[in-house]
Structure 1
């Protein structure tokens, strides 16, 4: 159970935060805090050392309710606020209701120092007239290339680039694509919670739903969506029917009924972050079968260093931010076709691991989520002094951000 908090205008009324002297960091996110543990959770659970962190998620819709904000605490020290709206509202009314609920929660003008941290440009539609001392866009993905991306998203991202003081990118290929769009863009590729994932190296007991699956096992964990090359999975599974493919993760934006079924493909569903080392401990090879499409052009998969920290060798399709640096350093095997995947896996299964693992550990020692957050925070502190004076007014928003086209 999450601790429910009272919502009152212009403040978070958590007893632990009522007299807090920390600045407020308000994150606008298209990802649910309680979904897959990934970049936002890694960073913002560390931000609580310096800020009172409020995550404002996308709305949820239910019939027969009045608009309200569902506010609850999380064990990591953040507070999550979800706009709860009645079904059937127009797009214009959804934006207006979100605006009013956010204003009631934090106030249009800050009562103290506050930072806005955006993961979704769509939040600009209802936050552009709210004031902040520092505005940050942590650009995880090239959202415009995802299936169903709208012109409104592109226009709102342009408005966010105009407003924000700092842009962080989730990988170096995305940094290269975005660095000319803002005066202060900084690449922060996926980092690693080494202590958590390295537990897999000393675990020798399988979870119940994996224990019956024979070896060798090739595993994937993460969101299952249009970024996964299921055709490649089928081809490899058919070429090596005695290999077992363990696929972990929630299915999003695609019909689960379309997932390929084979005796040696095992869809185990989503697992909690804390459970992942137990599953990885029983895998012989990690399989990152990403499709090569627009949605994966600039991704920097967090799972790459997580596999490595767990001591699991990886075969990946040639995603740019996997090839550089992991493929070039010989830490990850790169394969484009099913035949290449088979050859790479057979190489991994036959080779000794000690020399490879020593090289992995030398590389992983260079980074951590703690170091990533510390570097981001230094940039934030440096930018905070003159940020508000340099920020353009919100007049650059597209007109349909508050009055959508029919």
Structure 2
């Protein structure tokens, strides 16, 4: 396990985003290292006031809101230089006394950050690829994919969390390793009581997670409308980065809310989620696989459902095919209806539940960090970084 290191994790998404891989990584690494959560969206010129944000207080985690020394940030070169100067400043301030310094990157937008190694040679840069890069706008999509290729070629280590992503990126570079997905084991082992109690007069068919453009709203609408004998629950916040996506998702959700057999809500504390899932009879991953972002995804909620030993039905997501003995993968409305009926009629075996729990434990955040740590430490011992 990595110890006594400085680890800088640049954030592009909000720190408390529903897909909390950034924050969970910070929490796990902070047990033995100093972690700096670098909040890039809060960057401002040094004469301007600091953006008001409330961050949680955690041991060994510092939140840093960048300050720019050079004005005219609308120029791309100036913007990049300001970002690199901030990273260099943090390395000098906190990294010189540490065993090693690591730049832990999740977002292709930070593709040029490894260049700071010119000014801090002992820096280790890694790309922790957790998702397929995609954007609704073709021009931005192409830019992000180009940036990702540049990042993959520059970092010392390149990790992916699925075989599908490993194959997808193999033409650019063979990943250093495929590592566990990451799962909030601590929250599920010690869940918080929830006040949300759902009616028990009908079978509960439920989904937990972000309500966003990844959902197949057309499938959900028809499934819910045609099956009034079931109660559906969609539990999670509306989360979209773009206004266009947020407006469309809100409109789609408003349409679903008109149906009498659907409950929409969310928890203020994510530690309540296990006790939400435990109330479900069948768990859903109703994603729209016509989107490449979804087709190549690896939903973290799979292991949340698995930990609770629940029957799961999902859209045909490529990575989930290897769990075909533990989940039902269905492509159409008719097959979803048939399969849910079957899952409600025939109780899932205890053996399947045990396998599900075992897989969820194997994919905890601790195991992911241990896997990455071993690769880095072994490489250091061999005296070579780049694979």
Q: How does the TM-score come out when normalised to structure 2?
A: 0.81
Q: Does 1:36 align with 2:36?
A: no
Aligned with 1:247: secondary structure? strand
What does the per-residue CA deviation read over 1:141-166, in whole Å, with 9 as the maximum and x for residues that have no partner? 111x3323344323322221222111
For residue 217 of structure 1, report the CA deviation from its aligned partner: 1.4
What does the per-residue CA deviation read over 1:248-300, in whole Å, with 9 as the maximum and x for residues that have no partner? 22223322133232222222146432110121121111110011121112111
Q: Would you say how many aligned residue pairs link Structure 1 and Structure 2?
A: 360
Aligned with 2:284: secondary structure? strand
- Aligned partner of 2:188 in structure 1 is 197
Which one of 144, 148, 151 corresponds to residue 157 of structure 1? 148
Q: Distance in 2 between matches of 1:239 and 1:198?
A: 36
Report the CA distance shift for 1:387/1:221 in structure 2 as closer, same or farther (over 3 A).
Answer: farther
Q: Distance in 1 between matches of 2:7 and 2:169?
A: 24
Gaps spanning 5+ residues in structure 2: where? none
For residue 349 of structure 1, report the CA deviation from its aligned partner: 0.9
Report the CA distance shift for 1:74/1:123 in structure 2 as closer, same or farther (over 3 A).
Answer: farther
Q: Distance in 1 between matches of 2:367 and 2:113?
A: 33
- Aligned partner of 2:307 in structure 1 is 309
Report the CA distance shift for 1:217/1:73 in structure 2 as closer, same or farther (over 3 A).
Answer: closer
Q: Distance in 2 between matches of 1:245 and 1:199?
A: 26
Which one of 98, 109, 130 corresponds to residue 140 of structure 1? 130
Which one of 341, 347, 361 corresponds to residue 346 of structure 1? 341
What does the per-residue CA deviation read over 1:311-356, in whole Å, with 9 as the maximum and x for residues that have no partner? 22111011011121x21xx211111111111111111111123433
Q: Distance in 1 between matches of 2:67 and 2:41?
A: 6
Q: Does 1:264 align with 2:264?
A: no
Give yes or no for contact 2:313–2:327 (8 Å, CA) kept in 1: yes
- Aligned partner of 1:288 in structure 2 is 285
Q: Distance in 2 between matches of 1:270 and 1:183?
A: 40
Q: Distance in 1 between matches of 2:46 and 2:183?
A: 44
Q: Does 1:358 align with 2:347?
A: no
Give yes or no for contact 1:74–1:80 (8 Å, CA) kept in 2: no
Q: Does 1:379 align with 2:380?
A: no
For residue 80 of structure 1, report the CA deviation from its aligned partner: 2.4
- Aligned partner of 2:57 in structure 1 is 74
Over aligned residues, Cα RMSD in angstroms?
3.3
Q: Distance in 2 between matches of 1:294 and 1:184?
A: 20
What does the per-residue CA deviation read over 1:222-273, in whole Å, with 9 as the maximum and x for residues that have no partner? 2222211111111110110232221122223322133232222222146432
Greater alpha carbon shift after TM alignment, 68-77 vs 174-183: 68-77
- Aligned partner of 1:60 in structure 2 is 42
Give yes or no for contact 2:180–2:363 (8 Å, CA) kept in 1: no
- Aligned partner of 1:111 in structure 2 is 96
Aligned with 1:79: secondary structure? strand
